[in-house]
Structure 1
C-alpha cells in the first residue's frame, strides 16, 4: 500500500532518482543543466557577451559548476513588472578532502578530510562511504571532470563500547580532527601495492584515476567529498517516507526546477520573469562568488535591465521565495519545538518566522504565500523557534538585503536535518512543487493593494 495520490508518489520516485544522481553540488548542477537543455533552455556563459534577453525565451547560467540560475521571460514582460524568484541551495554538510589526503594511522591508512558545514558528524560513523566531486587534470591543457566512485571504499569505525569509559558511553563526542578519519586500507596492503606517495592516499588517487581514465600524476587538484553510498529510497509501512542524504536542500532545488519547467506552457501570457536560483555554499555562510552572498543575482538583474530607474521599479515589483528545509516535529523530542508551531510531515510547506530576522518573512510576504497556497489548495504550516533556542538562517535574509526584493522563507518539513541520512514525507514533494507552480502562474493575483 502506498501513501498519497499516484501523482505525488510518481514525483517522489522521480525525486529519489534525482537525489541519487546529485551526489555533490557539481553533479546536481550537471543533472539540472541536462534537464534545461532538453527542455530548450539556452545556456549562457558569464565569460562571453550575452545576447539581448528576449521575451518568450528561456535561459540558464552556471557559476563554478556548483550554482545555477534558470529563468524564463514572459511573453508580455516589461522590466517594470518585476521578477518572481525561487532561491535554494545545492550544498549539504559533508566531509571534504584536504589538499593532502594521506593519513598514516600506524597499522591503517586513512584519508584526510575537513568538516564542511554543521553536520551531525556522529551519523557518519560506521557508514559505507565513497568519494565524489570535481577533479582537474593536466593533459595537453587543463581539464575538469566529475567523478563518483560509487562503491564503498572508506569507513569511519566507531569505538567498541567495551573500550569506552563510562563518560564516553554517556555522551558520544568525537574529536573532529582525530576521530573523523575515514579508513581506506591497512598498512600492509599499501606496502604490497607499491604505496610510495608521501602527499596523497595512493589507493584513493589510483581509484580516481582509473575511474577517469587518466594517470594519477595527471590529477592537479580537486573539489572532492566523502559521501554515503546507500541510495535514497522510499520507505515506511505505507511508503510515505523518503530516507535519503542531502534532502536539505535538494528537495527545494528539485521542486523549484520542476515547477519552472511545468509552467513554461503558460509563458506566452506571463508579464514577469520566472527565475530559479540554486546557490552553493549556504551551509558555510554563502559568502562566496557562487553563494547567495555573491553577485550572481545582481549581475543577472543588470543584464536584464540597464536603467537604474527601471531597476528600482523592477526590484520593488519582484518577489522572492527562499526555500530551504524546515524542522518537522520530532516524535521523541517534542519539547524542542514551540508548542504552537510544530510542523508535521504531509501537511505542506512551512512558513518560517523569526523576530530577529534570521528568516526574511514578515506579515506582508507571509500573507502573499498564504493567499497563493489557499487558491492552489496547498496546505501551509508555520514555524518559529522557542525563545530559549537558537535559530538557524537561510539565504533569504542575505538575498533580501543584497537585492532589496521582498522575501519570504518557506520550506518542506523534515527530520534528522544535517544527518548523513534525513527523512521527509512523500506527499510534501508534490505540495511544494504545486505551490511553486502556483506562485509562478498566479502571483499577480495576490499582490497586496496599496
Structure 2
C-alpha cells in the first residue's frame, strides 16, 4: 500500500469511529471485506489453516487472527499485536436532563484522563450504543451517530474571569454540561433518542432502556503542515494503532499464526470483561490451543507487540522530557521502556523489534519518562502478566495526548505499519 492511500484510508477510519462501538464496526467491516470470517463466542469453532477469523466482545473489543498454514503450524509461535479502542471523552449520564435559564443541557461524566480545556467552543456531536425494547417486547441495541453538530460547551468570556489565562481550572460537574438548544421545559432525553432512532431506522420502539453515548468533535481528520507531514484528529490515541494493526494483519500472507486484539477500557484501567485485564485473550488461547502443555510451549515462542502512542518531544515544553529520550515526530516509531514495569519491554523484546525495523530500513526511537515524573502505562504489562507472553511496548510519537484533537507524524504511522507487516511475515523471531 502506498503512503498516500494508507493515510487517506486512515482518515476515513478515524472519522467513522467516534466511539469504541463504531471503531469495532469499522474493523469488522474491513476484516469481512478482506475475507475474514466472524465467529460467535457462543458457537463451536471449526478452524481452517490459513483462514482469517475474528470475534467480538461487548461490541467494543475485537480479536482477529489468521490461522497458521499447515506447512508452518504453531511451531513458529504467534505474531500478536494489541491496541485499544477507547479514548478519553465526555459520556452522557443516565439521568442527564438539565434545564437552566431556558437552555437545554445534558449532564456528562468524564471518561478517562481527558484534557478538559480543549473541549470548550467545539462543534460537538453525539454517538454510541442505545438499548431499547421494541413494540413487540424484544430487547435490541443499535449504534447511533448524529454526525452533525448538536451541542457546544461555550467558554466563559474573559471579561467575567480576568484570571482565566493564568489560573482557570475546570470543574467537571458544573462547567462541562453541553448546551443543546433553547427550550421552554426540560427535554426527556430517552424520548428524544426514541424519536431519533425511529425516524432514522425501520424499528418501532416501546421504550429506550439505556445507552452508552459520548460527545465528540465533528472536525474531521486532516493532514497539516507546510508539506502535509502531520495528521491531526480526535482519538489518535489509540485508533491509530488499531488501524495500523488491522491493515498489517489484512495484508499479511498466510504463514505463522497472526493476531490482533483491540480492547476497550484501557483508558480507565482495563479491568472489564472486554478489557485487557479481562479473559478475552486467555479464553481465545484456551479455545484455539486446548492442550495446556502445547499452549505454553507455543507462547514461549511468541511475541506480543503492545502498540499505543508515545509522547513526542514538544518544542514548547522540551523540559518535560529526558533530554536523551525525547522522540521526534516523523523520525520513527518509539520503543517504550520503564524499569518499574509500567511498560513491558525488556532488552530481548526491544532487540527483536529493533532488528525487524533495521531489516526493512525503518528508523526507531526510544522513550523513557523523566526520572522525576510519573509514567503512564498500556495494555502491555497487563497482557504480559495475564498470559506470560514476551511483550514489547511501542507506539507512534504524538502531541496533545488525551486532548479532543491530537497530532502525529504521517511518516511514523506508515513506518509502524511497515514494521508490523514484517513482524507478521517473519517465520523466526
**How far apart are 1:7 and its partner, in Å?**
2.2
**C-alpha RMSD of the superposition:** 1.7
Does the Cα contact within 8 Å between 1:372 and 1:443 map onto a contact in 2? no
- For the residue of structure 2 that corresponds to 1:218, the secondary structure is strand
- For the residue of structure 2 that corresponds to 1:435, the secondary structure is helix
Counterpart of 2:304 in structure 1 is 320
CA distance in 1, matches of 2:65, 2:187: 50
Q: Deviations over 1:228-277 (max 9, x none)?
A: 111111121211111100000011000101001111xx31xx2x310000
Q: Which runs of 4+ in 1 moved over 6 A?
A: none
Counterpart of 1:296 in structure 2 is 280
Deviates more, 1:428-437 or 1:211-220: 211-220
Does the Cα contact within 8 Å between 2:125 and 2:147 map onto a contact in 1? yes
- For the residue of structure 1 that corresponds to 2:239, the secondary structure is helix
Does the Cα contact within 8 Å between 2:334 and 2:367 map onto a contact in 1? yes
- For the residue of structure 2 that corresponds to 1:136, the secondary structure is strand
Counterpart of 1:406 in structure 2 is 390
TM-score, length basis structure 2: 0.96
One of 50, 56, 64 as aligned partner of 1:56: 50
One of 167, 181, 191 as aligned partner of 1:171: 167
CA distance in 1, matches of 2:297, 2:187: 63
Counterpart of 2:413 in structure 1 is 429
Does the Cα contact within 8 Å between 1:103 and 1:201 map onto a contact in 2? no
Within 5 A, what are the aligned runs for 1:276-355?
276-355=260-339
CA distance in 2, matches of 1:355, 1:65: 35
One of 144, 154, 158 as aligned partner of 1:161: 158
One of 240, 243, 248 as aligned partner of 1:251: 240
Does the Cα contact within 8 Å between 2:68 and 2:74 map onto a contact in 1? no
Within 5 A, what are the aligned runs for 1:126-165?
126-139=121-134, 140=136, 141-165=138-162
TM-score, length basis structure 1: 0.91
Within 5 A, what are the aligned runs for 1:14-93?
14-51=9-46, 53-75=47-69, 76-93=71-88
CA distance in 1, matches of 2:373, 2:201: 47
- For the residue of structure 2 that corresponds to 1:138, the secondary structure is strand
CA distance in 2, matches of 1:169, 1:396: 38
Deviates more, 1:375-384 or 1:209-218: 209-218
CA distance in 1, matches of 2:162, 2:411: 44
Counterpart of 1:180 in structure 2 is 176
Does the Cα contact within 8 Å between 1:136 and 1:221 map onto a contact in 2? yes
- For the residue of structure 1 that corresponds to 2:404, the secondary structure is coil
CA distance in 2, matches of 1:172, 1:413: 29
Counterpart of 1:97 in structure 2 is 92
For this pair of structures, how many residues does the alignment match? 426
Gaps of 5+ in 2: none
CA distance in 2, matches of 1:249, 1:86: 13
Does the Cα contact within 8 Å between 1:108 and 1:183 map onto a contact in 2? yes
Counterpart of 1:3 in structure 2 is none
- For the residue of structure 2 that corresponds to 1:389, the secondary structure is coil
Does the Cα contact within 8 Å between 1:79 and 1:305 map onto a contact in 2? no
Does the Cα contact within 8 Å between 1:147 and 1:212 map onto a contact in 2? no
Does the Cα contact within 8 Å between 2:78 and 2:301 map onto a contact in 1? yes
